Structure 1
Amino acid sequence: MGRAKVGKRTVIAAHCARLFVVAAMIVIGLAPGAVRAEACNLPAGLVTLARTLSALPQKQQAVDTLLAERISTQMADLSEFGILTDLQRNSLDGLSGIALELMAEGERLSYAAAPYDPRHLRAMLAEFEHQSTLACNSISEESDADGPGTFRDAVTEGRIDWEEVEKMLEENKVVSGGVVLAIMVVFIGLLFGVDLAIRWIFALVHNRRACRVGAILTFGEAEVHGLILTLGRGGFRFHPRDMEALLVGGADTGVPFRLQVGQCAPFDGRMSMVRDHVVDCRFDAPLTLRLQAEILALSSISPYYVRRSHDGGEESTLHLARQEQDPPLPNAKPKET
């Protein structure tokens, strides 16, 4: 019976992992659109020239000096032979005519005060964009036919062909690497999320609150005044007025203490950790919710939930000690509301 349950859980886990791989493939772009974007490689210089010409004012009929200089600089880096060679190499021969026409117009407008017809220029750029789109779509169709399959190829009658998915991952190393990266990112994110959730649950279960409550910590022959900065049912964080006096008095891990807060009966416990500026302490017996509420009522600030942190959270709680110059007295009464 136990083996059957384990086997069933393994199957469910494997199925979930497979579904995640498919989701990652979709997210990172294993689709015709991604192939289409990579398949069309227009000459960068020609595209830049087209963008510059499209920026010419529609209400003028002559090129100003600044734009003429920019066009002239771009034309200096272009040559008819180079553009035609690039187009042929990338199977974009159909753009040769409009490309040469665009370069001729750029050469003519590379001189200041050169006249131009905004409607003619707009029509030429629209034709360039139209032909570029047609050429790119044609190339993408050929790539889809000859290259690795897409995710749609792995779905037949609403079912996923996992053998086809594995085949696509083997043939496309970029996609398989992206899937691994996506899995790692999600896995790390889940770890952080679980850790954060556990810490907040701990804070809520133990009712751990940030506060500022004046108190006196007595251990051995030492009596140290200070502030309770965080208080839970099982313990608290104490910030002494004089840390050196506390250390000289023999504060250390495991040292028993007695805590006096307001008019409450003293609380006994042991120090669990002595830090640079604060001391973490544990009660011998957990506080009741009523007792904790009585202590928190003495706080000079409104108590709020605070979670545990990996580094102990010393710096995040010390700002509470700096909010007031003089801490409240240990026998201070609750604020009237």
Structure 2
Amino acid sequence: MDPEAAAGRAGDVIDELSAAVVTDRSFLKTVMTGVLAGGHVLLEDVPGTGKTLAARSLAGALNLSFTRIQFTPDLLPADITGSNVFDESSGEFQFAEGPIFANVVLADEINRAPPKTQAALLEAMGEGQVSVDGETHQLPDPFIVIATQNPVEQEGTFGLPEAQRDRFIVKTSMGYPEFDGEMELIDRRAGRTESVPSVSAVADEATVRDLQAVPETITAERNVREYLVKLGRATREHRHVSVGVSPRGIQHLFEAGRAYATLQGREYLVPDDVKRIVDDVFPHRLVLTAEAEIEGIDAADVLEDVKGQVPVPAMEA
């Protein structure tokens, strides 16, 4: 599959999602960028904006297996990964798979569980496997975690550990729809009997794997690669940042940039791809100083400053 064909297939998925989820198309493109890059997606919004529907609809449009894990303060790691259960008929312990064993896993309200439980996802997200009692179990391929979280200002939430945030290739939010969008929600509901809209499958596992292979063919000139590295390094030197973007974060920017170029049907990465997707790749990785919080400066402000400081390379004609 070439980039042009991949862009067409991904566009079909986005069109199908748009029929079920009332949101900006740019949000759906960001989610698809994460999928094509073979990464995981973090959605942050207040309850009721449609995050769960978006995740379920994505699995339906891609025709992938789907599970939902509701994160709560008493959720245990074994509730996610599974555990060994004694089988009386065989007299041996057998591994019982947990809900993590699916193509698309919705980690709902992930920051309502304590860090120890959140950490149960780290190996799965990083390696595509889980280890239980010394045995390693491979997860399905493709494997996509879509985690939702409520703003940390809300009661009963825990901040995600830095290592956990770093595993998400992009973080985005849906936001409240405009008036016309909310009217469309009501009009759609009035015209059907089921409470949740359905989507049709426009892809399958093999298609998703083919789509995820395309970004690996996208080329990037040396100056473009230097540009994204400079962006990452500049975050570490910013006066309002105590912990900047990690090497993994810079690599994620490269991967997300090539995936975004694929969505444009282009065979090469350009600086504009990097500038567009960096807004979804870098901010959630930044740890700001206390002074920044006092001054009311957030990660997005820091990133805008960084983008203004790092010269954008010129592309050869």
TM-score range, shorter chain: under 0.3
Mark the structure with the bigger radius of gyration: 1
Q: Greater share of helix residues, 1 or 2?
A: 1
Report the TM-score, using the length of structure 1 for normalisation.
0.18
Q: Which has the higher contact order (CA 8 A, sep 6+)?
A: 2
- TM-score normalised to structure 2 length: 0.19
